[in-house]
Amino acid sequence: MKSFKSLALLFTLILVIGALAACGNAPNEGNNAEGGNGDGSISGSVAIDGSSTVAPIMEVVTYNYREEAPNVETSLGVSGSGGGFKKFTKGETDLSNASRPIKQEEKDIAKENGIEYTGLKVAYDGLSVVVSKQNDFLKNVTVEQLRQIFLAEAGNKKWSDVNPDWPNEPIKIYSPGHDSGTFDYFNEVILEEKEMVSNENVTLHEDDNVLVKGIANDPYAIGYFGYAYYLENKDSLKVLGIDNGDGNPVKPSGETIQDGSYDPLSRPLFSYVNNEAVKNNPAVYDFVKFTLNNAGSAAEEVGYVALPQEKYDAQMEKINEIAGK
């Protein structure tokens, strides 16, 4: 299976080329888009950027939209949640995908620039803590043990420093970079905004596939990223059950992510839309409607979890209200 990051680059090129996209193979070939079809009579452009975690969903949605509305030029960038918001809050993009809510400082920049926006939830994700299939000493981990592994103040460099029953080997950490919404979420709910360890055994990278390869090839490595990347690589990775202090470790699955029992690592995924673009750019309005009608099926196709239909419907009403429809 091709990596999501490679697909992101590929589909961005295909979408910009326009009509040539019809000659390629859609990422969900044989699975037609459901619900609100794009308006083939509309022309214009839609600029999207942001989270690598949300990107697999939007790749499917955007490709399908190009099939239905070939006169709309749709570009999809992947610069991370933080990088996406830097552009969005300056008015450079119409939609900003994010694996975390917009921060107060980003809200302030948007306000300064006169950017009004609406945050849409497109799916649920379970941030997955993983080790190599070669790892034979970990099946579950407590939140407190994660803090002992990842926090700089803990000072633990070897697995045996955290648990004497674990190997006397260096802990190799693989983490998304600081521009990633996934890092922000892990930092908030696990590290409680404290400094993460930083040494020669820590690799930070914005490309989740780099993290996957590093963890898969080292029995003493540990890392985390979105659930879809685990599913794509489950033959070489082992996902850990998370014990939130009650003695009952829970692994991520469609059911545990949606019902919230995969706590505290269940999270919503977002796409923020520029309200002015929704009002005044028919292509953006049409694309956002198409996204809400198809995000659920796209999410399930790539390994995330759809929202209940009523939540998509309620957001559709909000978008129609913004557009004056």
Tell me, yes or no, whether 74 and 147 share the same domain. no
Q: What whole-number distance in Å separates Cα of residue 322 and Cα of residue 274?
A: 10
Q: What whole-number distance in Å separates Cα of residue 110 and Cα of residue 202?
A: 34
Task: Please state whether the peptide bond connecting residue 264 to the residue before it is cis, i.e. omega within 30 degrees of 0.
Answer: yes
Tally the domains of the chain: 2
* pLDDT category of residue 22 using cuts at 50, 70 and 90: very low
List pLDDT tens digits, range 96-142.
999 999 999 999 999 999 999 999 999 999 999 999 999 999 999 99
DSSP assignment of 143-170 equals HHHHHHHHBGGG---BHHHH-TTS-SSB
Asked if 222 contacts 215 with a C-beta cutoff of 8 angstroms, the reply is: yes
pTM of this prediction exceeds 0.85? no
Q: What whole-number distance in Å separates Cα of residue 324 and Cα of residue 300?
A: 31
Percentage with pLDDT > 90 across the chain: 80
Above 80 in pLDDT, residue 144? yes
Asked if 123 contacts 304 with a C-beta cutoff of 8 angstroms, the reply is: yes
Which residues contact residue 193 at a Cβ distance below 8 angstroms, ignoring those fewer than 6 apart?
187
* pLDDT category of residue 247 using cuts at 50, 70 and 90: very high
Q: What whole-number distance in Å separates Cα of residue 222 and Cα of residue 132?
A: 8
Tell me, yes or no, whether 61 and 78 share the same domain. yes
Tell me, yes or no, whether 178 and 104 share the same domain. no
Tell me, yes or no, whether 141 and 260 share the same domain. yes
What average pLDDT does the segment 63-71 reach?
95
Last residue of a domain, one of 245, 264, 283: 264
pLDDT of residue 24: 39
Residue of 24, 55, 40 lying closest to 290 (CA atoms): 40
Tell me, yes or no, whether 258 and 297 share the same domain. no
* Range(s) of the domain holding residue 222: 128-264
**What single letter denotes the amino acid at residue 142?**
T
List pLDDT tens digits, range 287-305.
999 999 999 999 999 989 9
Asked if 37 contacts 290 with a C-beta cutoff of 8 angstroms, the reply is: yes
Q: What whole-number distance in Å separates Cα of residue 11 and Cα of residue 140?
A: 37
Above 80 in pLDDT, residue 252? yes
Tell me, yes or no, whether 111 and 214 share the same domain. no
pLDDT of residue 76: 97
pLDDT of residue 303: 86
Tell me, yes or no, whether 55 and 84 share the same domain. yes
| Residue keyed to tokens 């990842």 | 150
Three-state SS for 176-234 is ECCCCHHHHHHHHHCCCCCCECCCCCEEEECCHHHHHHHHHCCCCEEEEECHHHHHHCC
What average pLDDT does the segment 219-228 reach?
95
Above 50 in pLDDT, residue 54? yes
What average pLDDT does the segment 76-90 reach?
95
What average pLDDT does the segment 3-20 reach?
44
pLDDT of residue 37: 59
Pairing state between β 44-50 and 95-98: parallel
Last residue of a domain, one of 235, 264, 293: 264
Q: What whole-number distance in Å separates Cα of residue 282 and Cα of residue 78?
A: 24
Tell me, yes or no, whether 258 and 273 share the same domain. no
Tell me, yes or no, whether 170 and 249 share the same domain. yes
- Among the ranges 13-17, 129-133, 187-191, which has the highest mean pLDDT value? 129-133
The residues facing 238 across adjacent strands are: 131
Asked if 219 contacts 135 with a C-beta cutoff of 8 angstroms, the reply is: yes
What average pLDDT does the segment 247-269 reach?
93
Average pLDDT, the chain: 89
Above 80 in pLDDT, residue 29? no
Last residue of a domain, one of 264, 293, 311: 264
pLDDT of residue 10: 47
What average pLDDT does the segment 140-147 reach?
97
pLDDT of residue 238: 98
The structure tokens listed for 245 are 């202090």
Q: What whole-number distance in Å separates Cα of residue 176 and Cα of residue 150?
A: 13
Tell me, yes or no, whether 119 and 137 share the same domain. no
Q: What whole-number distance in Å separates Cα of residue 72 and Cα of residue 279?
A: 17
Above 70 in pLDDT, residue 33? no
Tell me, yes or no, whether 22 and 50 share the same domain. yes
Q: Give the CATH number of the domain where residue 223 resides.
A: 3.40.190.10
Tell me, yes or no, whether 146 and 191 share the same domain. yes
pLDDT of residue 236: 96
